[in-house]
Amino acid sequence: DAGVIQSPRHEVTEMGQEVTLRCKPISGHDYLFWYRQTMMRGLELLIYFNNNVPIDDSGMPEDRFSAKMPNASFSTLKIQPSEPRDSAVYFCASSLPAGGLETQYFGPGTRLLVL
Partner 1 sequence: AQTVTQSQPEMSVQEAETVTLSCTYDTSESNYYLFWYKQPPSRQMILVIRQEAYKQQNATENRFSVNFQKAAKSFSLKISDSQLGDTAMYFCAFMGPTSGTYKYIFGTGTRLKVLA
Q: Which residues bind partner 1 (CB under 8 A)?
A: 33, 42-45, 48, 55-56, 89, 91, 93, 101-106, 108-109, 111
Nearer to partner 1, 98 or 115 (CB): 98
- Residue environment code for 2-21, b if the CB has 16+ CB neighbours within 10 A, otherwise e: eebebeeeebebeeeeebeb
Distance CA 65, CA 105 (A): 23
> Shortest approach of partner 1 to residue 39 CB, angstroms?
10
> Shortest approach of partner 1 to residue 105 CB, angstroms?
7
> Shortest approach of partner 1 to residue 52 CB, angstroms?
16
Nearer to partner 1, 52 or 81 (CB): 52
Amino acid 38 reads T
